[in-house]
Chain A
């Protein structure tokens, strides 16, 4: 486990590095943009996370005749998978961060700007600068928007005190890390967990596990409570088995059937109120409910649920022609909101776009998702699914998939932990280069 001083020094170096990187990006001569041939079909992708970056790469690979522009508002992407490991001291921010040099080197035009509007009729995307990009096909891979207004007393401003740490912005997870590092021993850490559908359903419980790993070693009199909007959660028996073995008595899980729903948060008084209970916390991570990123609603591809219904074969929106939605923003039947699924959807969508541009009929595919959760240093569990499109929806292939076994031997848990880190290194290299 790293010492406090080391972590702080690294964080400082990292911040300096990022400042330099951002300054360099702002002042350097514009990166030589790959030329997009006149008249060649042009695909614009909004969002350079797992979904968008993998789609961009696959489009370049499948067919060099298609021009690809990736619009991403951040210079540095902080990958959320396994970022909870930072809280346990098992991973660093640097492990999670990726720039876009590898994507550019693959011949993709990357525009570091926010997309602020989409005009589906004119087939154009407006950027923060006011510039417009026109497209033949648009891919929205912009991830999620947090519904800050869903919990009384929570807001984007309050999140600067009570971090959600749920997006690809690395400052939030580091804020949470500093808070648990600085809290006094004996305090209570509270995590609120949202209802589904949401990004990565096991991740709130992975977060609880990683904070418990830290507390047990560094602040052993402290406790953690998960105030849940659900009466059951994914891999519940596996998580609870692990908590009993690794952190006995440390983690309390409070579902609505016990304490009622979350009623309000008071950031000044440091309390979370449910219908029946009040929790006085030292540190709180509030993970609000979610919907598709704001640009999806502006493009008219989000429905009343806030998510984006799509055709499972092409990932084209059911609400707007020539706009595809992939990754966490999409509502694709049983497909989970995982980085693994997002990357796979990016590839499938790219192959469908190439077929559509060529006037051919895209074929359906079986898709795979596998998601690891870190529970201890040498202890991880996983959830796997194989999915196929049936009558316009992804359904799980019966008899396949599932979760790690209960009562598994320590060697199995340790192997899954090794595979979790190895998967991350492989998947991020495949996506970001």
Chain B
């Protein structure tokens, strides 16, 4: 189950503002379908690089190009950090 990906503020106590929900619809943390890439536990820098490649079209895709264009670099960094922290 995907929790909302949040922008890390370092505050800790207050609820962090969620930026996106929906990635886990396809990229589940545990037990997702093998046909869909597993993101949990990959390095944040690798995820950021791939999202950038989707955004620019350098990496061809079905839906990821359309999705990557919807997020700012900060949001992509937050999503990548969240997945990198999941195991």
Contacts and interface: CB of A to CB of B under 8 A. Distances in A.
A423 B36 contact: yes
B4 A351 contact: yes
Interface of A: 54, 57-58, 61-62, 340, 343-344, 347-348, 351, 354-355, 358, 360, 362-370, 382, 384, 386, 397, 399-402, 404, 412, 415-416, 418-419, 421-423, 425-427, 429-430
B22 A382 contact: no
A366 B66 contact: no
Given A61-B3, A370-B67, A423-B25, A363 B36 contact: no
A429 B15 contact: no
Q: When A and B form their complex, which 7 residue pairs have the shortest distance between CB atoms, in order from nearest?
A: A386-B70, A368-B22, A400-B70, A363-B17, A422-B35, A422-B33, A365-B18
B18 A344 contact: no
B70 A397 contact: yes
Interface string B8-44: 0000001111111111111110011111100000000
Given A58-B3, A61-B1, A430-B2, A368 B21 contact: yes
B69 A57 contact: no
Contacts of B16: 363
A242 to B, nearest CB: 15
Interface string B61-82: 0110011111100010000000
A157 B26 CA distance: 38
Contacts of B1: 54, 57-58, 61, 347, 430
A234 B2 CA distance: 29
A418 B70 contact: no
Most chain A beta carbons < 10 A, residue from B21, B24, B32, B36 = B21
A197 B40 CA distance: 36
Given A348-B4, A418-B35, A426 B15 contact: no
A362 B18 CA distance: 9
Contacts of B75: 366
A111 B28 CA distance: 27
A344 B66 contact: no
Nearest to B21: A344
Contacts of B36: 419, 422-423, 426
B19 A360 contact: no
B35 A347 contact: no
Contact of A384 (B19, B20, B35, B66): B66
B17 A370 contact: no
B62 A386 contact: no
A367 B15 CA distance: 18
A425 B17 CA distance: 29
Given A348-B4, A419-B35, A430-B24, A368 B67 contact: yes
A363 B20 CA distance: 11
A348 B67 contact: no
Contacts of B63: 370, 382, 384, 416, 419
Contacts of A386: 67, 69-71
A427 to B, nearest CB: 5
Nearest to A351: B4
Given A344-B25, A400-B68, A426-B27, 20 more contacts: A340-B22, A343-B25, A347-B2, A351-B4, A363-B18, A364-B18, A365-B4, A365-B20, A367-B21, A370-B25, A382-B63, A386-B67, A399-B69, A399-B70, A400-B66, A400-B67, A422-B26, A423-B26, A426-B32, A430-B25
Contacts of A363: 15-18
A351 B66 CA distance: 26
Contacts of A348: 4, 18, 21
19 contacts: A58-B3, A344-B21, A347-B2, A351-B3, A360-B14, A364-B18, A365-B4, A365-B21, A367-B22, A368-B67, A382-B62, A386-B71, A401-B67, A401-B69, A419-B35, A423-B26, A423-B36, A426-B25, A430-B32
Given A397-B70, A419-B35, A430-B1, A340 B25 contact: yes
A358 B34 CA distance: 38
A364 B20 CA distance: 9
Contact of B19 (A54, A61, A344, A365): A365
Contacts of A58: 1, 3
A275 B79 CA distance: 53
A369 B70 CA distance: 11
A390 to B, nearest CB: 14
B71 A366 contact: yes
Nearest to B18: A365
Contact of A401 (B21, B23, B66): B66
A397 B19 CA distance: 13
A364 B21 CA distance: 11
Contacts of A347: 1-4, 21
